[in-house]
Amino acid sequence: MLWQPINLTQACPVNTHIEACSYFGYVYLNLLIRLYGDSEDRRTQKKLNFREQNDHTNKIVENLYHYENIFDDDERAEQYDFIVVGAGAAGCVVANRLSAKEEWKVLLLEAGPEQPDVTLVPGLSTALIGSNIDWDYSTEPNGKSCLARPGERCSWPRGKVMGGSSSINSMAYIRGNKVDYDEWAALGNPGWSYENVLPFFKKSEHNLNYEALNRKYHGVNGEQYVSRYPYIDDPSLMMTDAYNEAGLPLVDYNGAQQLGTMQAQSIVKDGERISTNNAFIQSIRYKRDNLIVKPNAEVIKILINDHKQAYGVIYVKNGKKISALAKKEVIVSGGTINSPKLLMLSGIGPKEHLRDLHIDLVQDLAVGENLQDHPTFNGYVIALPNKTATSASQTEILDQVDSFKYSDIKNGPLSGNGAVNSISFIKSDPYLPAPDIQFQADVTNWEEYIKEPTVVDSITIFPTSFYNAILPRTMNLVPKSRGKILLNSTNPYGSPLIYANYFGDSRDFIPIVRGVRFLLSLENTNAFKSRGAYFIRTPLEACKHLEWGTDDYTLCLAQSYTSSSYHPVGTCKMGPKSDRNAVVDPRLRVYGIHALRVIDASIMPVVPRGNTNAPSIMVGERGVAFVLEDWLGSH
């Protein structure tokens, strides 16, 4: 399957005037398809005349809830030692470590396709949103957020592809704060303190920058490459300079201190994205005979016997339902949305909800609860004059996109990510133990954005390398609001209902308002003044009745133009048995079900202070270490 971008015919509203919806937008996307639509794994398979392992395909399952109806007497299911569901940030790590044991046969199932080449180009990251490698989820209205968005719903992109969201995200490598993991341990999760998890961050890390000199905090021998972009433009440096001038020190976020500013490190090497698929699977996929990788294979049920032991899964591939059996364990790594969805489809979840959907209850657990994300919003716009802007003509954009494909040294504008990687952390109250505000940014064309903010936000197809405005985003790192995920009663196997519940607790506005006050003060720095940068003081449509820049205006923007930080966690909460909301124990075993674990961001009891890709990789390392200990013993 080739990569397919967002369908502009469906996405573009009538009478919009943004460039993405013009004839040029169609030309541009078609060029991306032609140059970057294929994938390295597809090409490798062709070269090797690769044929997928023979499937002992089972007949189509008529009744998903009764194992005895799956097979005829002369049919046998696929047999493995371990089945890993989901090839995302954690799942790729898990599959890699398990398959290192030659005597174990490991099956890695991914609902999405092979990772296309377009994912490798940092500057094209926003073109991945809404494409066929994005689950393209959206939130349910709560009357307190996303109010100016269509249907009062916020978009929730998640990766549906080899590498999962690590293949479509903005690539920042930020671990969170020491306080986060010590809190996890204090909640009754031994083995998860900062001291415990730091070795697992370092194990997978292959740091290429000066941070690598500090071996206390960084690793240099792991599979996951970490570095700064080879191309960092002047507006990006302007943001870092301004934060620094306003009092934030230049720091290594992943070292001894998080409070500060810097061009963040990312999961890149030599100007290309290194997803967990690139890092952990591609290097071994065609070398380890005991690792079977199946993309385009969506798991719809975990098989559980009368003794409450997981012994396999049912997945759909090429329109057929196929069963695979696991001798040792089934490991669910579908992520914060799809892991709870799969558990509930398999009868593990809140008994009232499953009863309403006529799903036989196997284990009553608080699956889908404890949903958390870092609430943020768009709306404040930093305009850049021509001398500072990186805007490019249509011809220049096409030339850059075309030339990157054949460049031997990838260090041009597309090998960076614009101002997206200008990241800072502050405390909204000096007495806090750790930062509670993160600043990140989007980039845009300010003339278009001021007129049609929600349309521009929803159709971000052009490279992040070319822009004349920055959209700084103030993120609340310690939200008190909690949401939940439920199955969709009209189609339980379709997109679940996501109740993000942004600002359900009004206290979540406090850090954001304080953070914006600091943000607006940057206009007075020499970094801004020397470049002619300034905040556009035209109120956006939904808040035009309020005075720009006031606290009330900030509150209106936050509620109207709410946005996800794409950091959802918590829906299969890790906790001690005494925690009524816990789904997995501290070794990530599902309570009440033998041979079943969840290893991904959904187990995080509290969202870390920062981007969640690096913590998800760590969870993969920490979780699979428990698996290895349980089956091989401690070494």
Catalytic positions, please? 567
Report the alpha-carbon distance of residue 145 to residue 154 in Å, rounded. 8
Q: In degrees, to the nearest 5, what angle opens at C-alpha 385 toward C-alphas 379 and 388?
A: 105
Element (H, E) at 341: helix 335-345
Among the listed residues 109, 129, 92, 120, the one whose alpha carbon sits nearest the alpha carbon of residue 4:
129
Block residue for tokens 């294929």? 38
Closest C-alpha to 138, from 128, 152, 159: 152
Residue 590: burial class (beta carbons within 10 Å; 0-12, 13-18, 19+):
buried
Annotated binding site: 161, 299
Residue 282, SS3?
A: coil
Give bridge partners of residue 106 from the DSSP assignment.
Answer: 82, 291
Question: Among all chains, which residue has been given the structure tokens 């923007």?
Answer: 557
Other Cβ atoms closer than 10 A to 319: 6
CB of 272 closer than 8 Å to CB of 36:
no
Q: Please state the separation of Cα 503 from the chain's center in Å.
A: 21
Q: Which residue has the tokens 């690792």?
A: 291
Spatial neighbors of 435 by CB under 8 A, at least 6 apart, are 177, 258, 259, 425, 426, 427, 477, 609
Output the CA torsion sign for 345, 347, 349, 352.
positive
Give the side-chain half-sphere CA count within 13 A for 465: 25
Which candidate, 443, 471, 479, places its Cα nearest to that of 557? 471
Are 357 and 345 in contact, with CB atoms under 8 Å apart?
no
Nearest to 92 by CA among 360, 278, 330, 367: 278
Report how far residue 196's alpha carbon sits from residue 477's, in angstroms, rounded to the nearest whole number.
22
Hey, which residues does 364 pair with through a beta bridge? 349
Cα separation, 177 vs 194, in Å, equals 8
Q: Are 610 and 478 in contact (CB under 8 A)?
A: no
Count of Cβ atoms closer than 10 Å to residue 8 Cβ: 17
Given a contact cutoff of 8 angstroms between Cβ atoms, the answer to whether 91 and 97 are in contact is no
Do 379 and 540 meet the contact criterion of CB atoms below 8 Å apart?
Answer: yes
Bridge partners (DSSP) of residue 266 are: 172, 227
Residue of 565, 438, 581, 431 whose CA lies nearest to 512: 438
Binding-site annotation: residue ranges for FAD:
161, 299
Torsions phi, psi for 529 (to 5 deg): -60, -40
